[in-house]
Amino acid sequence: MKLDLNDLTVKIDAFAAKQTLSTDETTTLFRHLLSDAVAKATNAEADGTFFVKTGDIPAMWLRDATFQVLPYVKLMSVIPELKTVLVGVLRRELRYIQHDPYANAFNQTASGAHWSDDESDQPISDLVWERKFEIDSLCAPLFLALKLIEQTDQVDFLDAEFWQTLALIMTVLETEQHHEQSTYYFKRVDCPANDTLTNDGKGTPVGYTGMVWDGFRPSDNACEYGYHVPSNLFLIAVLTRLSPFIPNELGDLKDRVTTLVAAIQQGITRYALVTLPTGQVGYAYEVDGLGHQKLMDDANVPSLLALPFIGYTTIEDVIYQNTREFILSAQNPYYYRGKVLAGIGSNHTPEAYVWPISLAMEGLTSTDQTVKVAQLEKIATTDNQTGQCHESVSVDDVSQYTRDWFSWANMTYCELALDVLGV
């Protein structure tokens, strides 16, 4: 029987209506937003998959879609029908990767719609909205699969299609360990410098490190140095946890995963562990294997702030705590403090604009319940009476923000609210 998304929305809203948070503002916002991704962003497709648009842009980002539906994983025990949606989103992500593993965002149909007229090493498909290579786009479906396993102890969706897609992902990752030999390039004209790759579309030069080269950050802006550390740590986290589920008959695939994880970890240890401006040892944000390091953090996930959330390390880990101290300070060039807000922003948005996603992630990566509640309350002050968590908000004036509807931000707020509620 076909799942009715309207009925599902009613059930999600009914669950939300029973929940009470610390203030009227946080409670009202949570009750308004919990069904956001299903009610407004999700469409059921004829093949049984589900398309999830990012919000006020009509395309589906692999990364965004995973984090948009992630809070629903926790609700499957009370609303079992959600599993159909979650597995259906996963299936669509896998099929998009099979179509073009270098693309980050896709159209609902082969409409030929694109963000821009870009040049790449192969013609950009009519199904592809944007062909920016981002490691996190390949990690996101694997992360969703692992969360489903963690919640249900079921692995029925780890079928031939899943493992075939993982094999394709591995081929791309192995290729991009040696980016100088890869054919991939990306060029966009008439755009900000951080929206295209330098060096004739190949990006700044890199040396071999064992890590995987990344064209663009999770913000969709170009990497300054080619090895994006949070994304490589995301790879270690998802591949390590997924490896035990690889069937025995796919021993070669398991060996490839083991080899890649070991090489990335070796590269992290040698190149990405640095002395921070605080004098402590922590993680760089980007490196190039040629002696250059970028010390910062960006609001978009995966980030250094989010390392415990994505499963790479624990909150208590000393290196993580050292890194956290640095990135949540003025020494991080994208940490902003103003009259009403303080937090991490991005070069994707104006200077001195903080992202509610990063505010939520501060709470999600804290063990202190008072911090979690405080972050939830802080985010609720940024909606400017729109009932929305925006992409970014001015640190001095919450009436100044970017994007009217950004579903990823909405659902990360809900993720934190469910954490506070103990769901």
What would the 3-class secondary structure string for 261-326 be? HHHHHHHHHHHHEEECCCCCEEECCEECCCCCEECCCCCCCCCCCCCCCCCCCCCCCHHHHHHHHH
- Average pLDDT estimate for 125-141: 98
pLDDT range class, residue 240, cuts 50, 70, 90:
very high
Model confidence over 272-326: pLDDT tens digits? 999 999 999 999 999 999 999 999 999 999 999 999 999 999 999 999 999 999 9
Average pLDDT in the 332-343 region?
Answer: 98
- The mean pLDDT of 72-98, rounded to a whole number, is 98
| Dihedral angle of Cα 68, 73, 77, 82, to the nearest 10 degrees | 50
What is the pTM for the complete model shown? Answer: 0.98
CA distance 309 to 328: 16
User: In whole angstroms, what is the distance from residue 55 CA to residue 40 CA?
Assistant: 8
- Rounded Cα gap, residues 126 and 109, in angstroms: 8
- The pLDDT, as a whole number, for residue 20 is 98
Nearest to 293 by CA among 330, 326, 257, 336: 326
Task: Determine the Cα–Cα distance for residues 238 and 20; give it in Å rounded to an integer.
Answer: 33
Q: What is the pLDDT of residues 146-168, one digit of tens each?
A: 999 999 999 999 999 999 999 99
* Sequence spans of domains, the chain: 5-421
Distance of alpha carbon 267 from alpha carbon 261, whole angstroms: 10
Structure tokens at 166: 């993982």
Length of the chain: 423
Looking at the DSSP bridge assignments, the partners of residue 234 are: none
Would you state the pLDDT for residue 1? 63
User: By the 8 A CB rule, do 83 and 149 touch?
Assistant: no
pLDDT tens-digit profile of 374-406?
999 999 999 999 999 999 999 999 999 999 999
Looking at residue 2, what is its pLDDT?
82
Q: Which residues pair with 50 in a beta bridge?
A: 44
What pLDDT sits at residue 375? 98
pLDDT at 117 over 70: yes
Q: Report d(CA 60, CA 62) in Å as an integer.
A: 6
Q: Which CATH architecture has domain 5-421?
A: Alpha/alpha barrel (1.50)
CA distance 181 to 50: 36
d(CA 12, CA 7): 9
pLDDT, average across residues 171-194: 97
Alpha-carbon distance of 222 to 313, in angstroms, equals: 26
Average pLDDT, the chain: 97
Q: Is the pLDDT of residue 183 over 70?
A: yes
Residues 6+ apart with CB under 8 A from 20: 27
How far is Cα 101 from Cα 134, in angstroms, rounded to an integer? 10
Helices assigned H by DSSP within 116-250 = 135-152, 160-176, 198-201, 229-242
